[in-house]
Amino acid sequence: MPLEEKQQDRREFITDAVRTTGVVAVVGSGGFLAGRRTEGEPMVWQLDPDKCTACGNCATYCVLDVSAVKCFNAFDMCGFCDICTGYFEMDYKSLDTAAENQACPTGAILREFVEEKSGQRYYEYTIDEPLCIGCGKCVEGCALMNGSLYLQVEHDRCLDCNECAIATACPTEAFYRVPASQAEILKRRAATVLNARGKQMERVAGDDESKRREADALLARTAKQRDWREKQALEDANRRPSDG
Amino acid sequence: MVSARCSVGAIVSGWHRVRSGGQAFAAAPRSFSVLLIPFACLAFATMANAADVIPVPEFTDHEVPISMPAAGDHSGWEWLNVGLLVVALSLASYFALVNRSRRGLFLLAVASLAWFGFIRGGCICPIGATQNVTLAIFDGTYAIPWTVVAIFVLPLVYTLFFGRTFCSSVCPLGAIQEIVAVRPVRVPSWVDHTLGLVPYLYLGLAVLYAATGTAFIICRYDPFVSMFRLSGNVNMLVFGGALLVLGVFVGRPYCRYLCPYGAILGVLSKGSKWHAKIAPEKCITCHLCENSCPYGAISAPSSPPPKSERAAARRQLAQMIVLAPVLILLGLFVGRLLATPLSKLDPDVRLAERIILEDSGDVEDTTDASDAFRNTGQPKAELFASALSIQQRFKTLGMLIGGWFGFVIAVKLISLSLKRKRTDYQPDPSRCVSCARCYWYCPGEQVRLGIIGDVSELVELNVEKPTALETTP
């Protein structure tokens, strides 16, 4: 039947045309979007310790069995506490170094006596990372003192989910995406202290090449942090008026 | 500068002296820490001002360690995944259309489930990539990796040429359901059509929330990802498990009644260049294939209504076309009403509502979020203003989503009123996932494989011939 054949031909022509348009549109918009990737580097989730309230959601909501969030210690701010409130429970009647007095439920904080200098005892509180579950109990305790214990996402554990389960559960929106190179968000105060140490090391390094390199690495770390914060503040300032 | 150094030094050393009094601290830890707070605050403020002059303790021979999280690893996995996706899509299309091998498709499904599902944790996911692509379109500052774009686009292109072969055996979500679909029952067609609208609504919501940067709801409610990772939210594990149990009897419940990406693929598949065919050469309308499809995707032959009913059918179609704008307007109206509940996914809106409830005394306790907000000392007015502006924005977005759903229902009603002539049993291209189950049931396939001789001319199985229907008055 010529009529039917004609109809068939016409239909095929139309579907071919539509399909070609579809392919061009899909590939074209895909290419356009992929072109934008040059505008930024891959993003990863990170936790802003300045916004963190140590609520414990990191340990509960992470899709991993043991949360990708771990506790870190800015050692330069730490160590003078004979009774570390991140290490010990706050409200026990008698405090000694027994396990039941420890704030950390998994005993992940290790305490090592370093030295005593003019009556000041100095300790080093290290975190045994595999044991840490990111519950933030130590951070909660430490926050009263100087906040040197802070939670961070371990990027080699984090699955970098499209929608971070912790981010949706975080009460203060402390989770957001940062460029992959900005691996860490230090507490503002920790960054300040580390920067000070870097400067001091630079001053005393003299001819010692290795000391100088160490100082440079420290300063670069805090500078990266500062630049990121500044950029963020700028973006926030730019975004606000358009929202309102 | 010198004076700053002195004052900070004094405060810090004073602070240490107080704290080294361990006995006093142990006796009254709480009151002590309360005393310490203003003191610490003072130290905070001074430190920030005089960043460079904090005395860092020096030790005789002790190196103060430095700890920081590991750097992100963005190595070749993504490339490998895109490469494997292309290979899997090509293989699936080959098995479904050329080789016509159910076994091949099934093995590929198992392999995809193992790799994309269990090994890669369900995260090479075009379904979820929909949201990234949407966000990248609406937010210029969002950097989308090219691999995510590729993962989103590739199945679409393949679908335009070969039908939903991605669904058949590449998508791990489809694969896990394909494997459990062992005792399928036929879903009543009205249920099938009604529930089949859900993916479009879900797609609309996902696009809306992704475009506004509120949330990625497809990922949040991904039923199988926690199963693939063998960990995660218990609710989602239960939801995924329930879907799998249901999937034993109702073929692919997620793909058919939820998957938003499946909705896109379904539409594109309607115009696919080549699509899986039940009968390799000629359909003898034996209807053996009809029961083999667990997904209700096989359309039986049909003829246009007899002359006496044509006027009525035409009237029905006209009614549906007239109804379309009404449905869209109704959707806009309902969507506007839904703006408030829709906006509740935004954390600022939720927080503002919570603060209002607490202030009015309607709730006794506080939440972590409200506590944290009060601790920051931010003005409430600012939060309320931001929440209100978000709600305002959701009024427009709600209307859009309502209008979209009105449109989807209208299109469905119109397509149901269109009577097409079909002489063969054919897979409905939008619903067929090219799983190849029906092939084996087709006598034509058995002939093609040389298992039996040619049956088409020996058996006349179609009792109700279309021609017979034509002649009835």
List chain B pLDDT tens, one digit each, 473 residues. Answer: 333 333 333 333 333 333 333 333 333 344 444 444 444 444 444 444 444 444 555 666 777 777 888 876 666 778 898 999 999 999 999 999 998 999 999 999 999 999 999 998 888 789 999 999 999 888 877 888 888 899 999 999 999 999 999 999 999 999 999 999 999 999 998 999 999 999 999 999 999 999 988 899 999 899 999 899 888 778 888 999 999 999 999 999 999 999 999 999 999 998 888 898 888 888 888 888 888 899 989 988 888 788 888 888 889 999 999 999 999 999 999 999 988 889 988 988 999 999 999 999 888 888 888 888 888 888 889 999 999 999 999 999 999 999 999 999 999 999 998 877 888 898 999 999 999 999 988 888 888 888 887 765 555 555 555 544 444 44
* Token duo for residue A143: 């926050």
Q: Give the model's pLDDT for residue B458.
A: 53
Contact B56 A121 (CB under 8 A): no
User: Does residue A28 form part of some domain?
Assistant: no
Contact B145 A120 (CB under 8 A): no
Phi-psi region of A134 (alpha: psi -120 to 50; beta: other; left: phi over 0): left
Question: Same structural domain for residues A172 and A199?
Answer: no
Euclidean distance between CA atoms B410 and B323, whole angstroms: 7
Spatial neighbors of B213 by CB under 8 A, at least 6 apart, are B135, B138, B139, B142
Sort out which chain A residues have CB atoms less than 8 A from B29's CB and list them. 83, 85, 90-91, 95
Q: Give the model's pLDDT for residue A217.
A: 86
Question: Same structural domain for residues A164 and A60?
Answer: yes
Q: Give the model's pLDDT for residue A226.
A: 87
Question: Same structural domain for residues A58 and A175?
Answer: yes
DSSP secondary structure of B313-347: HHHHHHHHHHHHHHHHHHHHHHHHHTHHHHHTTSH
Q: Give the model's pLDDT for residue B147.
A: 87
Question: Which one-letter amino acid corresponds to residue B24?
Answer: A
Q: What single DSSP character describes residue B440?
A: G
Asked if residues B250 and B184 have their Cβ atoms less than 8 Å apart, the reply is: yes
Question: Same structural domain for residues A166 and A198?
Answer: no
B219 interfaces chain A, CB cutoff of 8 Å = yes
* Token duo for residue B420: 């097409």
Question: Same structural domain for residues A140 and A72?
Answer: yes
Please, is B124 exposed, middle or buried when counting C-beta atoms within 10 Å of its C-beta (0-12, 13-18, 19+)? buried
Residue ranges of B 401-460 with Cβ closer than 8 A to chain A: none
Sort out which chain B residues have CB atoms less than 8 A from A164's CB and list them. none
Residue B84 neighbours by CB distance under 10 Å:
17
Asked if residues A88 and A102 have their Cβ atoms less than 8 Å apart, the reply is: yes
Euclidean distance between CA atoms B182 and B185, whole angstroms: 10
Q: How many CA atoms lie within 13 A of B174 on its CB side?
A: 28
Euclidean distance between CA atoms A211 and A26, whole angstroms: 55
Which residues does residue A175 pair with via DSSP β-bridges, in sequence order?
A47
DSSP secondary structure of B392-414: HHHHHHHHHHHHHHHHHHHHHHH
What are the φ and ψ backbone dihedral angles of A236, each rounded to 5 degrees?
-60, -45
Asked if residues B270 and B431 have their Cβ atoms less than 8 Å apart, the reply is: no
User: Does residue A122 form part of some domain?
Assistant: yes
The mean per-residue pLDDT over the stretch A97-114 comes to 81
Nearest residue, CB atoms, A171 vs list B74, B272, B369? B369
Euclidean distance between CA atoms B272 and B292, whole angstroms: 23
Q: Alpha carbon of B356 to those of A74, B94, B387: distances in Å?
A: 38, 60, 12
Q: How many domains does chain A have?
A: 2
User: Does residue A127 form part of some domain?
Assistant: yes
The mean per-residue pLDDT over the stretch A73-86 comes to 79
Q: Give the model's pLDDT for residue B459.
A: 57
User: Does residue A150 form part of some domain?
Assistant: yes
What are the φ and ψ backbone dihedral angles of B67, each rounded to 5 degrees?
-120, 140
* Token duo for residue B453: 């001789």
- Gyration radius of chain B over CA positions: 31
Query: Taking CA atoms, what residue in B is nearest to A196?
Result: B52
User: Does residue B95 form part of some domain?
Assistant: yes
B48 interfaces chain A, CB cutoff of 8 Å = yes
Q: Which residue did the predictor score with more confidence, A83 or B381?
A: B381
Q: Give the model's pLDDT for residue B279.
A: 85
Spatial neighbors of A92 by CB under 8 A, at least 6 apart, are A100, A101
User: Does residue B98 form part of some domain?
Assistant: yes
Nearest to residue B40, comparing CAs of B7, B64, B14?
B14
Please, is B343 exposed, middle or buried when counting C-beta atoms within 10 Å of its C-beta (0-12, 13-18, 19+)? buried
User: Does residue A229 form part of some domain?
Assistant: yes
Nearest residue, CB atoms, B40 vs list A63, A145, A163? A145
Euclidean distance between CA atoms B368 and A54, whole angstroms: 10
Q: Which residue did the predictor score with more confidence, B298 or A3?
A: B298
Tracing tokens 């590991």 back to the chain, one arrives at B70
* Token duo for residue A198: 């870097």
User: Does residue B469 form part of some domain?
Assistant: no
Contact A189 B73 (CB under 8 A): no
Which of B8, B11, B16, B47 would you mutate first to test chain A, the one with the most A CBs within 10 A? Answer: B47
Residue B415 neighbours by CB distance under 10 Å:
13
By residue range, what is the domain housing residue B150? 76-269
CATH code (residue A70): 3.30.70
Question: Same structural domain for residues A171 and A192?
Answer: no
Euclidean distance between CA atoms B248 and B241, whole angstroms: 11
Return the exposure string of B250-287: e unless at least 16 CB atoms fall within 10 Å of the residue's CB, then b.
bbbbbbbbbbbbbbbbbebbbbbeebbbbbeeebbbbb
Euclidean distance between CA atoms B6 and B153, whole angstroms: 63
Tracing tokens 């830890």 back to the chain, one arrives at B29
Asked if residues B283 and B455 have their Cβ atoms less than 8 Å apart, the reply is: no
User: Does residue B382 form part of some domain?
Assistant: no
Question: Same structural domain for residues A195 and A142?
Answer: no
Please, is A64 exposed, middle or buried when counting C-beta atoms within 10 Å of its C-beta (0-12, 13-18, 19+)? middle
Q: How far from the centroid of its chain's Cα atoms is residue B325's Cα?
A: 29
The mean per-residue pLDDT over the stretch A124-143 comes to 89
Query: Taking CA atoms, what residue in A is nearest to B375?
Result: A53
* Token duo for residue B408: 């989807």
Q: What single DSSP character describes residue B72?
A: P
Euclidean distance between CA atoms B202 and B196, whole angstroms: 11
DSSP secondary structure of chain A: -HHHHHHHHHHHHHHHHHHHHHHHHHHHHHHHHHHGGGGS--EEEEE-TTT----SHHHHH-SSSS-SEEEEE-GGG-S--SS-TTTB-SS-SS--S-GGGBS-TT--EEEEEEEEETTEEEEEEEE-GGG-----HHHHHHTTTT--EEEEE-TTT----SS-HHHHH-TT--EEEEETT------HHHHHHHHHHHHHHHHHHTT-HHHHHHHHHHHHHHHHHHHHHHHHHHHHHHHHHHH-
For A24-59, what is each residue's pLDDT tens digit?
998 998 888 888 766 667 788 999 998 898 999 999
Q: How many domains does chain B have?
A: 1
User: Does residue B44 form part of some domain?
Assistant: no
Q: Give the model's pLDDT for residue A14.
A: 85
Q: Give the model's pLDDT for residue A210.
A: 86
Question: Same structural domain for residues A67 and A159?
Answer: yes
Question: Same structural domain for residues A161 and A65?
Answer: yes
The minimum CA-CA distance between A38 and chain B, rounded to whole Å, is 8
Sort out which chain B residues have CB atoms less than 8 A from A121's CB and list them. 20
The minimum CA-CA distance between A194 and chain B, rounded to whole Å, is 9
User: Does residue A78 form part of some domain?
Assistant: yes
User: Does residue A222 form part of some domain?
Assistant: yes
Q: Give the model's pLDDT for residue B35.
A: 41
Question: Same structural domain for residues A115 and A225?
Answer: no
Asked if residues B186 and B228 have their Cβ atoms less than 8 Å apart, the reply is: no
User: Does residue B187 form part of some domain?
Assistant: yes
User: Does residue A9 form part of some domain?
Assistant: no
Residue A123 neighbours by CB distance under 10 Å:
17
Query: Taking CA atoms, what residue in B is nearest to A192?
Result: B51
Query: Taking CA atoms, what residue in B is nearest to A219?
Result: B52
By residue range, what is the domain housing residue A131? 52-179
Q: Give the model's pLDDT for residue B73.
A: 66
Question: Same structural domain for residues A167 and A80?
Answer: yes
Question: Same structural domain for residues A123 and A209?
Answer: no
Contact A196 B54 (CB under 8 A): yes
Asked if residues B251 and B176 have their Cβ atoms less than 8 Å apart, the reply is: no
